[in-house]
């Protein structure tokens, strides 16, 4: 493998910022849970509990060993930090990290709902021209509106990823469980 | 309103209840800073009023023997024209940032040696986009979403999923390359250009065989291709003729255009105005009547040839290398800028002026050559045009 130049090294370290952040996924939560499958929460396994945590059907306080046993104190702290963005997530599970967003508008223009609702605005790269769009940029940061029209909403949801794959800084994530 | 934060010149920005809609963080920073900055005029270290500072600037220019004007890339065309007239009257030097960045490409386009097109055409028709040595996600955040890859164009209704192909040629991975369908990391730009020319001619290249073949195959399949050349290409290229050869070869394969990735909002405007008035783009000496690389701002500073500098809307102390920037303080510096900067700390005369697009109206020429008109939103501050006009009348 070629030795990378100084500039490349600096850029890689700088660029890893978004990549090294732990993703909010059931597997990452499971790694921090007691993994004893004690069933005190009512679920059969800790993995099942992790899935329910991400889909917001259960709360962390329902894991009694984690709350009561002091040996899990560090894991509890990490789990609480990891689950914090879920408090602000939309009904579709969309989590927006404003500190990572640069307001490029890629998600606004790529979102299929924005395109169909606003063919003369978002669809051709401009800012939204009506209030029916899901994503818009306010003060340089993306904000979500009308989440009920998102393709990920409701019973017949599909796993659309238009706004995620177009964001290289990972400012938008979905809690998937 | 229009945003003059970068060369995209986004015209769909809206202000509502103190919030900025549709602008990226670069634009928001510029617009909000313009509204909240309290910047006072300074003359020889003392805080004075605006008119006094202008009088002081006029005295310094009148007493100077070797006068230079630098910057001008962020001000409207009328202000640029007055600055050119001042340089003509004082027989001074005039230069902008294009001598360090995209001037070489703009010259080829103005002389019609390279085919160029507008960004609206790219949006409507391009199905192959190549960024070479540029990272627009950082430098022009809305470039990809407004013009090149994500928007649905008139003839590209299926958008980025099916109708468009984005390739990036760069020395390293970047945020833009993460979005691209193909990234080619090159150590030597000229070698890769030669490889592309070889493949286009049906020969076997000496390096980058697989990448060059893949790229050329994709270009052959496309109907409208465009290359955006950034600073990486500018400094990786010792001979512009090689790029011209490549573009000629690619034009034999399909319709192919080149647009430079200039960062300043009105750099091309300055280039075109100076070109119309003296037939040159930048680094011009009105005393000698010629353009030469030795008359570029950085060369003049290195040789310490100038005693008074008028800097308009630029921060050379921050942007130039330290060895060169440290020599700016040896001359009398007159600065026209909307906000405090490193240059304002060392300047002898500082005249705060309004931000183009907010406090000053006019016209700018976008990097693809399209003229964009805009109006002022507030008229509280003095404009660059007013200050330059006063200076021109006084000398």
pLDDT tens for each residue of A102-134 = 999 999 999 999 999 999 999 999 999 999 999
- Residues A69 and A138 reside in one and the same domain: no
At A155 the pLDDT is 76
Choose the closest CB to B28 out of A103, A126, A128: A103
Same domain, A149 and A100: yes
Residues A84 and A151 in one domain: no
**Domain-terminating residue out of A63, A88, A113:** A88
Architecture of domain B40-100+265-394: 3-Layer(aba) Sandwich (3.40)
A104 with A79, same domain? no
Q: Is the CB of residue B147 less than 8 Å away from at least one CB of chain A?
A: yes
Q: Which chain B residue has the Cα nearest residue A169?
A: B175
* Domain final residue, candidates A47, A68, A88: A88
Question: Are residues A98 and A159 part of one domain?
Answer: yes
Chain B closest-CA separation from residue A146 CA (Å): 17
Cβ distance of B179 and A166 shorter than 8 Å: yes
Judged by average pLDDT, the poorest of A12-26, A43-57, B52-66, B291-305 is A12-26
Q: Rounded to whole angstroms, what are the CA distances from A105 to A7, A131, B3, B322?
A: 28, 16, 15, 36
- Grade residue A177 by pLDDT with cuts at 50, 70 and 90: very low
Residue of A102, A127, A139 with shortest CB distance to B19: A139
Residues of A in contact with B21 (CB under 8 A): 127, 136-138
Question: B185 to chain A: nearest residue by CA?
Answer: A8
Asked if B165 and B128 count as a contact pair (C-beta separation under 8 A), the reply is: yes
CB contact under 8 A, A105 and B152: no
- The structure tokens listed for A54 are 């991400």
pLDDT, greater one: B233 or A5: B233
Q: Rounded mean pLDDT of A57-82?
A: 88
Tell me, what's the pLDDT at A22? 64
How many angstroms away from the CA of A38 is the closest CA of chain B?
A: 43
Q: Is the CB of residue A8 less than 8 Å away from at least one CB of chain B?
A: yes
**Which among A88, A104, A123 is the end of a domain?**
A88
Distance from CA of A8 to the nearest CA of B (A): 6
pTM above threshold 0.90: no
Residues A83 and A98 in one domain: no
pLDDT band at residue A5 under the 50/70/90 scheme: low
Where in the sequence is the domain holding A59, given as residue range(s)? 26-88
Question: Is residue A115 in some structural domain?
Answer: yes
pLDDT at A23 over 80: no
Tell me, yes or no, whether A140 and A170 share the same domain.
yes
Q: Output the tens digit of pLDDT for each of chain B's 395 residues.
A: 899 999 999 999 999 888 999 999 999 999 887 777 778 899 988 899 889 999 999 999 999 999 999 999 999 999 999 999 999 999 999 999 999 889 999 999 999 999 999 999 999 999 999 999 999 999 999 999 999 999 999 999 998 989 999 999 999 999 999 999 999 999 999 999 999 999 999 999 999 999 999 999 999 999 999 999 999 999 999 989 999 999 999 999 999 999 999 889 999 999 999 999 999 999 999 999 999 888 999 999 999 889 999 999 999 999 999 999 989 988 999 999 988 899 999 999 999 998 888 888 899 999 999 999 998 887 777 899 999 999 999 98
pLDDT bucket at A10, cuts 50 / 70 / 90? very low
In this structure, are residues B220 and B199 in contact, taking their beta carbons and an 8 Å threshold?
no
The CATH number for A102's domain is 3.30.70.20
CATH number at residue A48: 1.10.15.40
Residues A147-172 have pLDDT tens digits of 888 888 877 788 888 999 999 998 99
**How far is A92 from chain B, CA to nearest CA, in Å?**
23
* Residues A109 and A84 occupy one common structural domain: no
| Residue B239 touches partner A, C-beta closer than 8 Å | no
Give the relative orientation of helices B240-253 and B103-110 as an angle to the nearest 10 degrees: 50
Distances from the Cα of B138 to the Cα of A169, B22, B278, angstroms: 11, 17, 35
- Give the residue from chain B lying closest to A17, CA to CA: B175
Higher pLDDT: A34 or B35? It is: A34
How far, in whole angstroms, is CA B31 from its chain's centroid? Answer: 19
Q: Is the pLDDT of residue A9 over 80?
A: no
User: If you average pLDDT over residues A2-21, what whole number do you get?
Assistant: 50
CATH number of B103-260: 3.40.228.10
Check whether residue A104 and residue A80 sit in a common domain. no
Count of structural domains within chain A: 2
Q: Could you tell me if A118 and A133 are in contact, meaning their C-beta atoms sit under 8 angstroms apart?
A: yes
**CB contact (8 A) between residue B145 and residue A12:** no
Residues of A in contact with B144 (CB under 8 A): 104, 106
Contact A12 B152 (CB under 8 A): no
A166 touches B: beta carbon within 8 Å: yes
Are the Cβ atoms of A102 and B29 closer than 8 angstroms? no
A49 lies in a domain?
yes
Q: Is B348 helix (H, G, I), strand (E, B) or coil?
A: coil
Question: Do residue A114 and residue A158 come from a single domain?
Answer: yes
CB-neighbour burial class of residue A31 (10 A; exposed 0-12, middle 13-18, buried 19+)? middle
CA distances from A116 to A113, A122, A134, B157, B319 (A): 5, 9, 11, 12, 44
Could you give the angle at which helices B384-394 and B50-63 cross, rounded to 10 degrees?
Answer: 50
Query: Do A41 and A59 belong to one domain?
Result: yes
Asked if residue A103 is part of any domain, the answer here is yes
B24–A8 CB contact, under 8 Å:
no
Residues A109 and A156 placed together within one structural domain of the fold: yes
């Amino acid at each position: 493998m070629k030795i990378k130049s100084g500039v490349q090294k600096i850029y890689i370290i700088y660029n890893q910022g978004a990549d090294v952040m732990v993703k909010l996924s059931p597997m990452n939560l499971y790694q921090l849970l007691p993994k004893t499958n004690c069933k005190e929460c009512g679920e059969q396994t800790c993995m099942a509990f992790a899935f329910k945590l991400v889909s917001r059907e259960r709360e962390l306080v329902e894991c009694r060993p984690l709350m009561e046993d002091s040996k899990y104190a560090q894991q509890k702290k990490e789990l609480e930090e990891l689950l914090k963005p879920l408090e602000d997530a939309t009904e579709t599970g969309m989590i927006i990290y404003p500190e990572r967003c640069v307001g490029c508008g890629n998600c606004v223009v790529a979102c299929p709902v924005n395109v169909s609702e606003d063919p003369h605005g978002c669809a051709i790269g401009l800012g939204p021209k009506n209030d029916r769009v899901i994503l818009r940029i306010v003060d340089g940061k993306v904000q979500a509106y009308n989440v009920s029209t998102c393709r990920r909403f409701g019973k017949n949801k599909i796993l659309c990823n238009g706004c995620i794959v177009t964001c290289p800084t990972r400012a938008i994530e979905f809690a998937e469980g | 309103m229009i945003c003059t934060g970068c060369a995209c010149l986004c015209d769909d920005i809206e202000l509502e209840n103190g919030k900025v809609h549709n602008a990226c963080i670069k634009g928001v920073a510029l617009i909000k800073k313009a509204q909240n900055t309290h910047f006072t005029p300074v003359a020889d270290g003392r805080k004075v009023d605006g008119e006094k500072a202008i009088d002081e600037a006029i005295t310094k220019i009148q007493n100077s023997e070797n006068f230079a004007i630098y910057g001008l890339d962020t001000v409207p065309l009328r202000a640029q024209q007055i600055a050119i007239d001042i340089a003509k009257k004082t027989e001074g030097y005039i230069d902008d940032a294009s001598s360090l960045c995209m001037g070489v490409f703009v010259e080829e386009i103005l002389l019609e040696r390279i085919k160029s097109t507008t960004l609206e055409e790219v949006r409507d028709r391009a199905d192959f986009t190549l960024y070479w040595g540029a990272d627009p996600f950082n430098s022009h955040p809305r470039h990809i979403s407004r013009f090149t890859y994500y928007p649905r164009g008139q003839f590209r209704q299926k958008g980025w999923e099916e109708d468009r192909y984005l390739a990036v040629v760069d020395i390293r991975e970047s945020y833009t390359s993460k979005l691209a369908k193909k990234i080619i990391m090159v150590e030597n730009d000229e070698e890769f250009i030669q490889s592309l020319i070889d493949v286009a001619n049906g020969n076997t290249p000496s390096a980058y065989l697989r990448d060059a073949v893949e790229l050329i195959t994709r270009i052959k399949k496309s109907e409208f291709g465009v290359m955006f050349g950034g600073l990486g290409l500018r400094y990786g290229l010792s001979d512009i003729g090689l790029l011209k050869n490549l573009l000629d070869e690619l034009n034999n394969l399909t319709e192919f255009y080149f647009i430079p990735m200039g960062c300043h909002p009105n750099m091309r405007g300055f280039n075109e105005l100076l070109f119309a008035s003296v037939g040159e783009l930048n680094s011009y000496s009105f005393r000698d009547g010629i353009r030469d690389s030795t008359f570029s701002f950085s060369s003049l500073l290195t040789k310490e040839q100038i005693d008074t500098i008028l800097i308009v809307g630029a921060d050379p102390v921050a942007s130039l290398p330290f060895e060169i920037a440290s020599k700016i303080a040896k001359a009398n510096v007159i600065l026209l800028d909307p906000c405090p900067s490193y240059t304002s700390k060392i300047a002898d005369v500082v005249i705060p002026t309004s931000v183009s697009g907010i406090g000053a109206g006019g016209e700018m020429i976008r990097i693809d050559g399209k003229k964009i008109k805009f109006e002022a939103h507030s008229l509280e501050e003095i404009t660059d045009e007013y200050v330059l006009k006063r200076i021109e009348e006084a000398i």
